[in-house]
Amino acid sequence: MNKITKLTYFAVVTSLLSNTAIAEEISLTDRVQGCVKITQDTARLACFDQLISKAKPTAIKAEPIITGLTAEQVDSFSKEQVKKTAEESAKEIDSITLTISKLSKSPYGEWRITFENGQRWQQKDNYKLSLKTGQRVILTKGSLSSVYLQKENTTKRIKVKRLK
């Protein structure tokens, strides 16, 4: 299609549209933009559902609906990515010492450890470490949310994850 034909087609189409149709299109665009701004998934989906069912524009809320969440939960969402203040860093615990109350192994030979305080942990790597019931071990935080377990007075350690 050459440029003159395209331009003529565009002029004919736009002249056929009434002012009401153009106003409705702008209103629909504004409503879609309002739905796009909603950050919570379920609220955004509800907004688009209302658009599809031809609801009135005044019935659509552009504010995100937060249900079942406390202000503290919303504030702490993904906060570990934010740089900590000196006070927060001082309060943070990097390691704990616990006593093993129960030991078992998975079918793949990984340790399943229960401590006296009721916490349950499981080994996540294939390294060998001899452990015994009643033994004191140190759990240390590593990078990228990893946790390592080592016996007291040793440097050999295994990677673990908390089950309970």
Q: What is the pLDDT of residue 19?
A: 47
Dig out the tokens for 23 from the structure: 């106003």
Domain boundaries, the chain: 3-67, 91-162
What one-character-per-residue DSSP string does 52-86 give? HTT--GGG---SPP--S--HHHHHHTTGGGSPPPH
Helix axes 19-36, 41-52, angle to 10 degrees: 160
Token pair 């933009």 in the structure block, residue: 33
Whether 62 contacts 37, CB under 8 Å: yes
Q: What is the pLDDT of residues 46-67, one digit of tens each?
A: 887 887 775 454 554 555 555 5
- From first to last of its 164 residues, the chain has per-residue pLDDT tens of 577 776 666 666 666 555 445 555 557 777 777 888 888 888 878 887 887 775 454 554 555 555 567 777 777 777 767 777 777 777 778 888 999 999 999 998 899 999 999 899 999 999 999 999 999 999 998 888 889 999 988 999 999 999 98
Q: What is the pLDDT of residues 93-104, one digit of tens each?
A: 888 899 999 999
Q: What is the pLDDT of residue 121?
A: 92
Whether 99 contacts 145, CB under 8 Å: no
Q: What is the chain's Cα-based Rg?
A: 30
3-state secondary structure of 92: coil
Q: What is the pLDDT of residue 31?
A: 79
Q: What gap in Å lies between CA 162 and CA 139, rounded to an integer?
A: 11
CA quadruple 69, 91, 120, 161: dihedral sign: positive
